[in-house]
Amino acid sequence: MKNKKETMQTPPRKRAPGGFKSLKRAVKLLFKFYPRLVPLVLLTTVLESAITAIPAVFIQQVIEAIGKWVDSGDWNAASAVILPKIYILAGLYIASTLCMVFHTQIQAFVTQGFLDKMRRQMFSGMQNLPIKYFDTTKHGDIMSYYTNDIDTLRQLVSQSLPSLVRAGTIVIAVLFIMIYYSLWLTLVVLLGVVGMMVISKKIGGGSAKFFIKQQTSVGKQEGFIQEMMNGQKVIKVFNHEDQAIEDFEKLNDELFTNSYRAHAYAGSLGPIIMNIGNIIYVLIAIVGGLFILLNTPNVSISGMAFNISIVVPFLNMTKQFTGNFNQVSQQINSIVMAMAGANRVFDLMDQEPETDEGYVTLVNAKKDAYGNITESEERTGLWAWKHPHGDGTLTYTELKGDVRMVDVDFEYVPGKRVLNNVSVYAEPGQKVAFVGATGAGKTTITNLINRFYDIDDGKIRYDGININKIKKDDLRRSLGIVLQDTNLFTGSVMDNIRYGKLDATDEECIAAAKLAGADDFITRLPEGYNTMLNNNGANLSQGQRQLISIARAAVADPPVMILDEATSSIDTRTEAIVQAGMDKLMEGRTVFVIAHRLSTVMNSDVIMVLDHGEIIERGNHEKLIAEKGTYYQLYTGAFELE
């Protein structure tokens, strides 16, 4: 049993690392998913970029040859130099184009594949999260992980990283070429670049702060919109439209402010860097012209003197150098957004999964002539708990549906006790009902039996086995549940019934629907059992949706049933039909019933009256009426449940 103090605490939440750590992690995953294709994309990008920088060398040689031709007038000698260079330039540009086409095709596959794998990991991880995470996190915010946040990674992989590699390669290649021709002119360019870097850091820092805030604001707004969509009927009934608009405008103003500031910083960065590049271009033209006029000694690897054949290509290289540096600065926006998006995505992926220390499993079983239980490979209709022991032996306990809670305490929030010293004994085949006002702890008891939450103190035993020892999947497979709030999924009526047992035949699904009393209205639907349902079965009445939910539980055929206000949304006439079917469904099963309508619990073997997390009365209907306590006053109308 867990330590009480420990379970009162919120489950540990592993936060994704912020900033560049999240970005680094995303890049590592990219290489992990595509260990061959990603290096190939980078290689072709580098080749294409390097080829783009090389023409400056040939242009210098062509200009030098043209200068000699002008001086000598010997075209034959000049053409012997110029024409081969032109052919080489044409070949280089063709090779650059081929590399570009090749890497863009592979890059498209890698980008979409990366997002596909990330979404799969996110969704599969989400399925293993505890119920508490979904109870405490806005669903719209969770949706934002799969849309806005994952899209920032798409921009990172498809645009930012390739642009950085390409621009970085060109900058390095051009820098070496510039140093080869003139160290003095290179220093002029580098001094200008230092100014670019200072401004980029200043403006980029402000942009980063607000892009991160923008991603958070988007998640909050989407969470609010999702709530408003789900609650439209309530909003209209209570004339809450104006308040909803006011609340939305507050969130929208927050998003506007953060987005405006983020893009204001980001939008100003590009023009500033570009104009600094233009200033450097003009400085190179002026300084280069002065060096030629003053016959300034050139310091270079090439050993060439200052002349027009150096200055003109240098101007082109300056444009390339500053332009690609500007390209790097422009990617800061996408990188910062990717950092924020990656941080939120990894925050979801790093949530602590639902722990399951259980080792007792549910298996098909059979009995021999002496009543000994053994495991069966075939479905026999008999289920047993397979219990491995430390000495290597196995024991099998027949699944009967004996559920016992002993002195259970529980808190959702530390310091706010929901259940206090609750004991419940449900023998196989018994129908146990819980009655009490909203918040008395009725649904909490069923949540604990399912292990949606773990108790703080006490014990829960299932067929004599502590439920902490039973694997959660097997525990929940043995329990059928019909909730007060119905959840139908996009698909046919038949698909929704089969949700309770994925390998159920059509005949089994139809039999379950008949048992629940749903067959009559289903056969009158436009396409019967093949009628498609959308938006949680919005084309059906609340009662019809509940009937399908009951049929879904019936087809699962579990030994224990939990009915949490299962008939609360059904009218009195329909309730009589459903009750008859449910009576058949409950035969031979252990059943827990939560109901406000006392008519649905009168025939229960045991009725428990809860008040503020404590059981104040227990007994069958006749016994409780005779005691003339709280149940009697509820039954006679002296008290209301609410």
User: Measuring CA to CA, which residue among 167, 176, 200 is closest to residue 46?
Assistant: 167
pLDDT tens digits along 254-300: 888 888 887 777 777 767 777 887 888 888 888 888 888 888 888 77
Average pLDDT of the chain is 82
Q: Would you state the pLDDT for residue 570?
A: 64
| Encoded tokens for 555 | 């087809």
pLDDT tens digits along 58-112: 676 676 667 667 666 666 766 777 778 778 878 888 888 888 888 888 888 999 9
DSSP 532-544: EE-TTTTTS-HHH
d(CA 561, CA 584): 12
Task: Return the top range by mean pLDDT from 208-217, 392-401, 588-597.
Answer: 392-401
DSSP 24-84: HHHHHHHHHH-TTHHHHHHHHHHHHHHHHHTHHHHHHHHHHHHHHHHHH--HHHHHHHHHH
User: 57 pLDDT band (50/70/90 cuts)?
Assistant: low
Q: Would you state the pLDDT for residue 3?
A: 41
Give the residue, 235 or 45, on which the prediction is more confident: 45
Q: Would you state the pLDDT for residue 33?
A: 93
Q: Would you state the pLDDT for residue 13?
A: 44
Domains identified in the chain and CATH numbers: 15-349 (1.20.1560.10), 361-398 (no CATH), 403-636 (3.40.50.300)
d(CA 453, CA 445): 10
What is the average per-residue pLDDT within 187-191?
86
pLDDT tens digits along 491-531: 899 999 998 888 889 999 999 898 888 888 899 998 999 99
| Encoded tokens for 596 | 């406000």
What is the average per-residue pLDDT within 369-394?
85
User: 31 pLDDT band (50/70/90 cuts)?
Assistant: very high
Q: Would you state the pLDDT for residue 469?
A: 93
Q: Is the pLDDT of residue 403 over 80?
A: yes
Q: Is the pLDDT of residue 251 over 90?
A: no
User: 234 pLDDT band (50/70/90 cuts)?
Assistant: low
0.85 cut: is pTM over it? no
Q: Is the pLDDT of residue 459 over 80?
A: yes
Q: Would you state the pLDDT for residue 184?
A: 86
Helix axes 542-556, 572-586, angle to 10 degrees: 0
